[in-house]
A and B are shown apart, each in its own frame.
Chain A
Amino acid sequence: MTAIHSTHIAKPATVSTVMLKVLAALLPGIALSVYCHGVGVLLQLLLASLTALAAEAAMLRLRGVAVLPALKDLSAIVTAWLLALSLPPLGGWWMIVVATLFAIIVAKQLYGGLGNNPFNPAMAGFALMVVSFPAQMAQWGSPQLPLDAAAQWQWIFLHTLPAGSVPDAISSATPLDVLKTGLRQGQALAGLLPQSSAQGLIALGWLAGGLWLWRQKLIPWQTPLAMLAGLLALALPLWLWQPAQYASPLLHLLQGGTLLAAAFIVTDPVSGASTPRGRLIFGFGVGLLTYVIRVFGNFPDGIAFAVLLMNMTVPLLDQYTRPAVFGHRKGRS
């Protein structure tokens, strides 16, 4: 079809500039992450990016789609970075590679590439790993690492440590995991609370990036706020009811990937709802499910599953939350 009619002027924005801005918005969080966890984070980002580009290029070739224009939209890099930031910073190289391959090949390209994937690719990759390799996924590493850069790289690639290193630095679990296991074993909540503020610090980085994206009008306010509201809707009453048994809402907001998800994951337009009311319901659902899975489920963090579950509801949400068309009454279709 030739565009003989269509508008003769257009905003200069492209998908590539949108994705580039999303990557830029991740930078403050990445910087804080490197500060807390070490340069291993950068290695994970690099591994994920290369894997994603290679997998995307190969799949586009197989599908008979022009490779370069699609690679240039940078959506594969966004998926790769989100995955790299969700996986343990000191996980073995194969973990991020497997997760990224699954995200790009299965969750994205097999469904028809950018714009056609019903599930958030990064969360699909994360879910695969957490189901298949729960032990490795729980080894988050201690925030105050005694390992230097070289040791981190050696660990990621070779799974060996220089002589004299403390293996505990690698194998310590995430605060949410510690909390869950501890509570199950009947320990007191107070003793289980995280001693460091590293996760909270990084979370502020994601928050800053998210606010900037919102100011840039690249993400709507509905989904992130609704997600946080959904999380608090359970966390707050339960905490008020039994503060010794349930962690504080603040911990739920700052720990795990809550703010990373609120700013960058639930706001994925492709797999999320697209109407204003749909976004509210989608975000709220993710928040509720995240809390339920975190606190009552078997997995340390429930965001990935919550997002995937809510992804399934998107076609229905989009259908039934369409705004009333100009002059028509609501509810008429």
Chain B
Amino acid sequence: MMPLFDFPGGIHPPENKAQSSATPIRQAPLPPQLHVALRQGMGNAARPCVAVGDRVAKGQLIASADGRLSAAVHAPTSGVVTAIAPQPFAHPSGLPELAITLDSDGEERWIERQPLHDWPQRSGAEIRDFLAQMGIVGLGGAVFPSHLKLGVSPLETLVINGAECEPYISCDDRLMRERADAICDGIAVTRHALQARQVLIGIEDNKPQAIAAMQAAAAAHGFGVVAVPTKYPSGGAKQLIRILTGKAIPHGVRATEHGVQCFNVATVYAIGRAVLHGEPLISRIVTLTGAVEAAANVEALIGTPLDQLLALARPHRDSHEVVMGGPLMGFTLPDLAAGLTKAGNCLLVKSPALFPPRPQAQACIRCGDCASACPVSLQPMDLFWFAKAKNFDKAQQWQLFDCIECGACSYVCPSQIPLVDYYRFAKSEIWAAERDKNAANLARQRHEFRQFRLQRDKAEKAQRLADKAAQAAARQAASHSAAANVVPADPKQAAIAAAMARAAAQREAAPLPEQHSSGLNDAKQAAIAAAMARAAARKAAADQAKAASGQPPAPPPTSSGLDDAKQAAIAAAMARAAARKAAADDARANQQPDP
């Protein structure tokens, strides 16, 4: 028995898992129509690569990833694309999202699946690229693209998260009970990609059957299966890493920097299906529970309309709203016509009888129960005070962004204050202020560039006039003397210099920065590169002019100095845009703006 560690705080809400965990996973019936949202990862929505009217096969790529945090989307079944239009989306905002509507043909005709049979011979990078194409994202709820988590190797420990700590949810429990071998195959692939020395599978001790099944399957692979004490939120990645390895990884630091990486069991299962069977991520297991007649776990295609899924569990007549996710971190679905997303681990039906509305919030009496419950040792009552007073500087000083929004504070609050809402409000206000600041900076930069451009154009015009005068003078001089020392290679050299300058400017623009560099810095660098390119081009043009002064019919240069400057400016603008996008992606990934 290995020693276990504890994390601070935590709560023990009623588990309510037995309702849905008793029966095996069922296959949800094939829906006649699916709405596959293009936003399936943390980042940008994927870009559709099919058109309305196209006939697609099951597993065919229908939208490709757009940026690092975006995830590829595949056809969950065979059929015809009937629309690419905004559809209701499973997000608390209630804003519609672009989705591909697919009318299924009922044939479930697969594309030719191309598994990576020789994965033990493949490098981590190859497996990473393969998973990116397969649209694999974290299925625990955060939908972080899995390939991005395979970047660093070798690792000390690969942690597999089977804790499933939120009440009511049991999809991982059933998956572990029924498909432990397939999970372990996925773990083997992941471990290989990460070159992890050891594998620890953490499962809360309220799932004895899952623990037994996983132990049986993991024994052959040499993975450790660890029963961890049931305490919410032990299923948080950093909490589980703490329990199993003793390492406390602060906010803003990646687990890999401590030699650890954490994957959800459903995610490694999906990795296994992708690598060993060539199946992209087109379905997931969903817990249907709460105020329903027949709570269950169903395996459903991504894009299945949520109301059709819910009908399988027969909601109570008095049910009034549906939560996606668990009762502590889930959000109320604004529209049940939305299609299932990769994030949809649970549909929790609420009825007033089962989920009585919270009483009116009372004054905070600073009892400190929230601080005792906080798994990251924050002072929630102080954060609440600061958020309410819009004292955001102070909130950040009290490490608001370390908050994982687990809801433990809100759960224990005797004043019934919806604390997490206050923290989300404060965070979004801080992000908005950051965005405004960046926008102002951008406007200032644009203004400065315009001033610079006007001045430069003026100077160039003067230069051109001066050159013309010089040329006229030179021609006069040439007519008198014999042909002077002409360097025929000069125009060519000038063209080469200009091309090199362009290439330099493009180099700045092309690769997305891997590091946490702020958009501002990148834009500045691009501007510098562009300015250098312009200078080189001007010099080349001047050289040409000088050379041309000796040669009567100088061949027209491939690009004039002015054109180069323009191109460089365009390249710089592109670089800025790319940098902005990268910065936005980064900010989304870190859930924290650059300071």
Contacts and interface: CB of A to CB of B under 8 A. Distances in A.
A328 B365 CA distance: 28
Interface string B356-369: 00111011111110
A4 interface: yes
Nearest to A327: B250
A184 interface: no
Contact of B363 (A11, A15, A325): A15
A114 B348 CA distance: 36
A10 B413 contact: yes
Nearest to A65: B363
Contact of A326 (B377, B419, B420): B377
A114 B365 contact: yes
Interface in A269-293: 269-270, 272, 274-275
A318 B382 contact: yes
Nearest to B247: A327
Contacts of A220: 368
B216 to A, nearest CB: 34
A10 B410 CA distance: 7
Nearest to B421: A6
Contacts of B110: none
A8 B368 contact: no
Given A15-B415, A327-B238, A8 B365 contact: no
A75 to B, nearest CB: 8
B366 A274 contact: yes
B424 A5 contact: yes
Nearest to A8: B327
B523 interface: no
B415 A14 contact: yes
B489 to A, nearest CB: 62
Contact of B358 (A10, A18, A70, A115): A10
Contacts of B251: 325-327
A13 interface: yes
B416 interface: yes
Given A274-B379, A326-B250, A327-B253, A8 B350 contact: yes
- Most chain B CB within 10 A, of A3, A5, A17, is at A5
Contacts of A327: 238, 248-251, 253, 376
Contact of A1 (B366, B375, B381, B421): B421
Interface in A293-333: 318, 322-328, 333
Contact of A7 (B398, B407, B414, B425): B407
A131 interface: no
Nearest to A114: B363
Contacts of B425: 1
B368 A274 contact: yes
- Most chain B CB within 10 A, of A326, A328, A333, is at A326
A314 B355 CA distance: 38
B323 interface: yes
B334 to A, nearest CB: 9
Interface in A148-173: none
A270 B377 contact: no
A17 B367 CA distance: 13
A113 interface: yes
A269 B368 contact: yes
B92 interface: yes
A69 interface: yes
A75 B363 CA distance: 11
Interface string B484-509: 00000000000000000000000000
A326 B399 CA distance: 10
B423 to A, nearest CB: 10
A195 B332 CA distance: 67
Interface residues of B, number: 59
Contacts of B397: 333
A82 to B, nearest CB: 15
Interface string B248-272: 1111010000000000000000000
Given A5-B421, A9-B411, A15-B414, A326 B365 contact: no
B167 interface: yes
Nearest to B7: A326
A231 B355 CA distance: 48
B141 interface: no
Contacts of B330: 8
A14 B402 CA distance: 27
A11 B363 CA distance: 16
A77 B582 CA distance: 58
Interface in B86-118: 92
B332 A115 contact: no
B124 to A, nearest CB: 26
Contacts of A113: 363
A133 to B, nearest CB: 31
A13 B417 CA distance: 12
Nearest to B408: A7
Interface in A17-43: 17-18
A6 B415 contact: no
A114 B363 CA distance: 6
B407 A275 contact: no
Contacts of A1: 418, 421-422, 425
A13 B358 CA distance: 11
A18 B92 contact: no
Nearest to A115: B363
Nearest to A116: B363
A9 B421 contact: no
Contact of B407 (A6, A274, A326): A6
B399 A328 contact: yes
B399 A9 contact: no
Interface of B: 7-8, 13-14, 92, 167, 238, 242, 248-251, 253, 323, 327-328, 330-332, 348, 350, 355, 358-360, 362-368, 371, 375-379, 381-382, 397-399, 402, 407, 410-416, 418-422, 424-425
27 contacts: A5-B418, A5-B420, A6-B418, A7-B418, A8-B327, A9-B327, A9-B328, A9-B355, A10-B358, A10-B412, A11-B413, A14-B359, A14-B362, A17-B414, A274-B366, A323-B8, A323-B377, A325-B250, A325-B251, A325-B378, A325-B402, A326-B7, A326-B248, A326-B377, A327-B376, A328-B250, A328-B402
A-B residue pairs, 6 tightest by C-beta: A327-B250, A6-B418, A326-B376, A115-B363, A7-B407, A3-B418
Given A7-B410, A14-B362, A326-B377, 9 more contacts: A4-B92, A5-B331, A7-B411, A9-B13, A15-B362, A115-B364, A325-B402, A326-B242, A328-B402
